[in-house]
Amino acid sequence: QLSVLHKFKGILFSTASSRELLDSLDSFDAREDDVFLVSYPKSGTHWVAEVIENIPNAKITITSPIELGDISKFDELKTYSKRRVIPTHLSYDMLPVDIKQKQCKVIYIIRNPKDTAVSLFHYYRDNPNLPYIETWAEFLELFLRGDVVYGSWFDHVLSWEEHKNDNVLIIFYEEMKKDFFKSLKKITTFLDMHVNDSEINNIAWKTSFSEMKNNTVKESHDPNHTICALTSERNLVFRKGVVGDWINYFTSKQKRVFDELFTEKMKHSELARRLKEYS
């Protein structure tokens, strides 16, 4: 079952991300107006993508993830004439160098790691592109060791936090839930886009959890609408869509172990302090 994943530079990737593609990421030609939609898996990427797609007159195309596919990827990405919004779960270190040089805009989505872990646990169990994991306890150990797809949550977040002043907008899943309009405003301002009140309300409705979940039933499988390199089956994505589901999974001992590692790993992190306020 492990054959659905492979290791590249010490990090686990789906075999849908070919070694050749991962090896040639630095040959990617960025455009100055590219926007990158970056996240650790299960942080709310599909949600933010849907928000951007529903901004009227945005004049953008959401592409499939930069790390999904083989070396024909970059030719595919060249075919888009509109401004590209390119999703990725790559950590900062693996991001193609041209994106850094051109200082392309990045939206980084972050979610409290306990909920992210629970969400990823279900993804492992439901998604045929990930190995099946028997128990939550077993999965949590892998998660804490960073022995899961895209590596350690802590390292991912820290790699991006270090570059938060390089044209990076940070969006918190929890803030989107609590104050959607505030997050939407941040996104449109960052992208120099304008929305009026009725458009805002329409976006809020169209991107609500229930609406998005219902639409997957209608849309079924659309490989041209792949936001996460781990699946093009959108019906695998919409599970619960709430803040705080971790409480139903963590034992008090698991919470203590998790919190200790969090405190240790994130001791210099400003983002970690903000996450604590939200969860």
**Residue 149, SS3 per DSSP:** strand
- Should residue 241 be labelled a site residue for ligand A3P when binding is judged by CB under 6 A? yes
Position 39 contacts ligand A3P (CB under 6 A): yes
Show contacts with ligand A3P in window 182-201 (CB under 6 A).
Answer: none
Stretch of residues binding ligand A3P (CB under 6 A), selected from 13-21, 43-51, 68-76, 160-168: 43-51
Q: CA-CA distance, 253 to 14, in Å (whole number)?
A: 31
Q: Select the span of 45-53, 98-106, 137-145, 154-162 touching ligand A3P (CB under 6 A).
A: 45-53
Task: Pick between residue 18 and residue 231 the one whose CB is nearest to ligand A3P.
Answer: 231
What secondary structure does DSSP assign to 105-125, as a single string?
EEEEEE--HHHHHHHHHHHHH
Q: Tell me if 121 sits within 8 A of 71, measured CB to CB.
A: no
**In the complex with ligand A3P, which residue's Cβ is closer, 74 or 241?**
241
Sign, Cα dihedral of 97, 100, 105, 111: positive
Q: How far apart are CA 215 and CA 165, in angstroms?
A: 36
| Distance in angstroms (rounded) separating the CA atoms of residues 202 and 140 | 38
Under the criterion CB under 6 A, does residue 44 sit at the interface with ligand A3P? yes
Per-residue string for binding with ligand A3P, 54-83, x by CB under 6 A? Answer: ------------------------------
Catalytic residue ranges: 89
Q: Which residue has the tokens 């790691």?
A: 113
d(C-alpha 237, C-alpha 216), whole Å: 9
The contact mask relative to ligand A3P for 219-238 (x = CB under 6 A, - = no) is ---------x--------xx
**Contact by Cβ (8 Å): 239, 216:** no
Minimum separation from the CB atom of position 7 to ligand A3P (A) = 22
Q: Which stretch binds ligand A3P (CB under 6 A): 42-50, 193-201, 249-257, 267-275?
A: 42-50
Q: Contact letters (x/-) for ligand A3P, 199-218, by CB under 6 A?
A: --------xxx--x------
Coarse DSSP helix, strand, coil percentages of the chain, rounded to the nearest 5 percent: 50, 15, 35
Contact between 113 and ligand A3P by CB under 6 A: the answer reads no
Catalog residues that contact ligand A3P under the rule CB under 6 A.
39, 41-47, 115, 119, 122, 207-209, 212, 228, 237-241, 245
